[in-house]
Structure 1
Amino acid sequence: MTQTDLARVQLGGAVHQNSALSRTGLQERVFSKLFQGLVYAQIWEDPVADMVGLDLGPEDNIVCIASGGCNLMSYLTASPASITAVDLSPAHVALVRLKLAAAQTLPDHRTFYDFLGHADKDSNIALYREFIAPVLDAESRRWWDSKQGLLGRRINMFRRGLYRHGALGRFIAAMHAVSRLGGVNYAPLLAATSLDQQRAFFDAEIAPLFANKAVRVLARQRAALFGLGIPPAQFEKLARDGGGDIVPVLKERTRKLMCDFPIQENYFAWAAFNRGYKDDGTGPVPPYLEAAHFDAVRKGAARATVVNRSLTDMLAGLPEASKQAYVLLDAQDWMTDAQLNALWTQITRTATPGARVLFRTGGTPDILPGRVAPALLDRWTYHPDLSRRMWEQDRSAIYGGVHLYTFDG
C-alpha cells in the first residue's frame, strides 16, 4: 500500500461515519479527500494558552497532533524531553518535518524568520536547496519537490506566501472576497491601537455582514466550513451552541477574534485579516518564531518526531507509563464513542501519574462524560476553572471550549 493509499484509509476511518449514499456521508468523503492535501499552513490553536495548562518542563515527553506544526514548534521553547507528533495528512507531516529541519539547519534567526515568518521571499528557495533539502527524509523531500498542478513545485509556496495556501488559506481568501463585496477594508482594524477601536470596527463593518441573507445562507452550508477543517460531525456541535443555527456562533467567535485581544498582540488576527504575519516582521508571531526562543527551538527540534499515523495506533505501540502530556487539538469532535474509548484506553495506559491531556471542542461542553467509559474517565480529574481560563486566553477564538484533564494514576 502506498503512502497515499494509507492516508486515504486512515482519513476514511477517522471521518466516515455515515453511508456514502447519504448526503452527510458524501460530505464526509469530500472532506476526507480535502484533508489528504495541505489544510493548515498555520495551526489554529493558541500554544501560549496551551502552555498555561500543560506546565511543560524538561522531564516531559509530549504526544500531540501535528497539524501545521506551530504548536509543536512552540512547545520546544519549554525544552521538553521529547515530542512525538502524529497526523493523518501526509501534507502536514511533510510541512512539520520541513519546519523542524529549518530550525536545525538555517544559519540564524533572520533566515529562519525569512523562511517561516515572511514565507514569501524568492531567497527561500535557495535556503531550501542549500540547507533544508539535504537533511530532509526522502518522503518529505519528494512531497516538497513534486509539482502541484499548474502551480509548480510545492516548495514554491514559500516564495508565493505560504500562509495563502492550503484549504485554510483558500478559505481566508474567500472570506476576503466576501468582505470586499460588502465594502469592508481591514486596514483600520490592523492599525487599531485600542480594544475600543477594534470593537467599533466590528460593530460597524462586520456585524452587518452576518445579517446579510446571502452570507447567512452560505454560512449554513456544511461544505462552506470545510476550509476551516470542520467536518460535518463537528459542524453540528458548533451549531448546537447557537440553538441549531451556526450563524450566531460564527458571529460571536469572529467578535472574540477581533475584539477580545489587542490586535498588535494577536497573530491569529493578522493571519486572518492580513493573510500573513505583519509585513515588516515587527508584529506578533507564534512563540517559535520569536528571536528570543530561536536557540531553544533549534536545540529541541532534534527531540521531535512526526509520523503519518492515527494517534490511537501510535500510542498502542508505546510502553506503559511513558508520557506526561497529550495535546489532542479538536480531533475528538470527529470521533465515535468506540473511537473515543479506544483512544482513552491507550492514553490511560501510556500516562504517568500527573499526566495532562488538553483538547478543544467546537461546541462549549466537554464531550467525554457519558461517552468515555467511567472505568477510564474516573481515573482522571477535570479542571473546569483552568479550562475556562485557557479558553478565555486562546487568541485563535474559533473553539467553544478548551479542556484539561490530569491523570490520578
Structure 2
Amino acid sequence: MAGTMRNTKIMEAVTQSTTVSKQGLFERAFAFAFKGLVYAQIWEDPVVDMEALEIQPDSRIITIASGGCNVLSYLVADPAQIIAVDLNTAHIALNKLKVAAALHLPDHAHFHRFFGQADSKQNLRAYKEHIRPHLDETSRSYWEGRDLAGRRRIGGFSSGLYKRGLLGGFIGTAHLLARLYKIDLRMMLTASTLEEQRAMFEQHLAPVFDRKFVRWLTDQPPALFGLGIPPAQFEALAGDEKMADVLRKRLEKLACDFEIRDNYFAWQAFGRGYGKGADTPLPPYLQAANYDLVRARAGRVEVEHANFVERLQASADASLDRYVLLDAQDWMNDQQLTLLWSEITRTARPGARVLFRTAAEPSLLPGRVPDELLGLWDYRAADSLGFTARDRSSIYGGVHLYVLK
C-alpha cells in the first residue's frame, strides 16, 4: 500500500493533463520511467549551490535528495542539519547508502572506490562487511533486489553505476548515436586547453545537431525522459526554438566554457564516469581533502521518503533557513507553486535562502505566485545570472536565488 501511495504521488507530481490527451500519455509514461533510478549522479553544481546558500553553522537545510551528491557535499560547509526528501524510492535508497558508507567504510580509499569508481568487485565485499549491517531493511531490500533487466542493483557498484539509471542510459544512447556518425565523445577528455575544447566541439559535435534525424528525435518529448525532463518542462526548455538548437547551446557550454580537467560533469557526459587518474575532478564529497569532514558530519543528514511540501507542512514555523528545490517547480502548476511558497515562507527563518533551477532562463515565479506572497522575498537577479554562468553542469537555463526580506 505504501509503495502504491508513493507511486501515485509521483504521478501527481508530473501530470497536468488528462489521460486521453497526447500530453497526458507522455506525462504518465514519464512517471512510470521516473519510478526507477534516474540520477546516479545529481546534475546541479554543489560549488555554485554552496556559494549561493551561504551555509552557516546553524543552517538547517531542506533539499530534494536526487542522487545525493550535493547532500553530502553540503556537509563541507558545516550546516547544523540537512533534511533530504524525495518521492523516488531508488534515490532514497541511494542517499541512505551514501550516508551509511560515509559513516562506516574504513577510509577514503574505500569510499572513493565505491562511489568515485563504482566499478570494482571489491565494492561488493565492502558493502557486505561495512555498509549492509547499517542499512534499514527497505534500503537493503532495494539494493539486494533486481532491476527490470534482472541484475542485482548493488552489482552496479562492481560494473559501473554511472552507466545505469535513466540518465546513464540516456548518456549511453548519446554515445551510441555519436558513434553512428563516427564520433567518439571520449575525445573531448583529451583536450588540454579551452581552445582545444572549442575546436573539437565546433568540428565534431556541433554539426550533429543539424542532422535531420537528430532534429526530429530531439523534438519528441520521450527522447529526453532520460534527462529527467517531464513533458511540461520539455515545453519550457524548448520555448520558441527547436529542441536540437537548445541542446546544442547547453552542450556547447558544457564542452567549451569550463576546463575539462576541472569539470566532473563533463567527465560524466563524455566519459560515462569519473576519471581514473589521481588529478581527475570529483564532487566535493568525494575529494580526499573533504573526507574527514564528510565522515564526521554525515550523521547530520536525515533522509526521508516524502513529498517536499508535505514535509514542510509537518515542520514548525520559522524552523528552516536553506531550501534547495532543484528544478521541481518546472513540473508544478500555479496552485502547487503557491502552496509551496506559502509553506516555505511559513517555515522560513529570517534571512532564509531559496535556491532553484529552471529549464528556461527566467524565474518562473512572477505572475504565477501571488504578488503579496512573492513580495516577501528578494530576488537576487544579478547574483542569479552569475550562478547560472558558473554552473558547470550546464544543463539548466537559469539558477535562481531568493532571500527572505
Report the TM-score, using the length of structure 2 for normalisation. 0.99
Counterpart secondary structure, 1:36: coil
Give the superposition deviation at 1:152.
2.8
Give the superposition deviation at 1:322.
0.7
Give the superposition deviation at 1:162.
0.7
Counterpart secondary structure, 1:50: helix
Q: Corresponding residue for 2:258?
A: 261
Give the superposition deviation at 1:150.
4.2
The correspondence of residues 27-46 of structure 1 with structure 2, limited to 5 A, is 27-46=26-45
Q: Residue deviations 1:370-393, cap 9 Å, x none?
A: 001112111000001110111111
Distance 2:6 2:245 in 1: 35
In 2, are the aligned partners of 1:104 and 1:299 still within 8 Å (CA)? yes
Counterpart secondary structure, 1:40: coil
Distance 1:91 1:146 in 2: 11
Instruction: Say yes or no: does 1:308 pair with 2:339.
Output: no
Number of equivalent positions: 405
Residue from 351, 355, 362 that aligns with 1:354: 351
Q: Corresponding residue for 2:4?
A: 5
Worse-matched range after superposition: 396-405 or 12-21: 12-21
Worse-matched range after superposition: 303-312 or 37-46: 303-312
Distance 2:98 2:348 in 1: 28
> Measured at CA, do residues 21 and 208 of structure 1 come closer, stay the same or move farther in structure 2, by a change above 3 Å?
same
In 2, are the aligned partners of 1:63 and 1:83 still within 8 Å (CA)? yes
Counterpart secondary structure, 2:41: coil
Distance 1:292 1:321 in 2: 34
Instruction: Say yes or no: does 1:101 pair with 2:86.
Output: no
Give the superposition deviation at 1:186.
2.8
Give the superposition deviation at 1:307.
1.1
Distance 1:187 1:112 in 2: 26
Distance 1:128 1:62 in 2: 28
Distance 2:135 2:165 in 1: 21
Q: Residue deviations 1:43-77, cap 9 Å, x none?
A: 01100011111111211000000000111111011
Instruction: Say yes or no: does 1:153 pair with 2:152.
Output: yes
In 1, are the aligned partners of 2:175 and 2:185 still within 8 Å (CA)? no
Distance 2:336 2:65 in 1: 19
Q: Percent identity?
A: 51
Distance 1:251 1:153 in 2: 36
Counterpart secondary structure, 2:396: coil
Worse-matched range after superposition: 183-192 or 66-75: 183-192
Give the superposition deviation at 1:324.
1.1
The correspondence of residues 48-59 of structure 1 with structure 2, limited to 5 A, is 48-59=47-58
Q: Corresponding residue for 1:404?
A: 401
Instruction: Say yes or no: does 1:338 pair with 2:350.
Output: no
Distance 2:196 2:187 in 1: 9
Distance 1:334 1:322 in 2: 26
In 2, are the aligned partners of 1:325 and 1:357 still within 8 Å (CA)? yes
The correspondence of residues 348-387 of structure 1 with structure 2, limited to 5 A, is 348-387=345-384
Counterpart secondary structure, 1:324: strand
Opposite residue 200 of structure 2, the aligned amino acid is F
Distance 2:88 2:365 in 1: 25
Gaps in structure 2 of 5+ consecutive residues: none
Gaps in structure 1 of 5+ consecutive residues: none
Opposite residue 231 of structure 1, the aligned amino acid is P
Distance 2:310 2:230 in 1: 21
Counterpart secondary structure, 2:167: helix
Report the aligned-residue RMSD: 0.9
Give the superposition deviation at 1:312.
0.3
In 2, are the aligned partners of 1:101 and 1:136 still within 8 Å (CA)? yes
> Measured at CA, do residues 199 and 293 of structure 1 come closer, stay the same or move farther in structure 2, by a change above 3 Å?
same
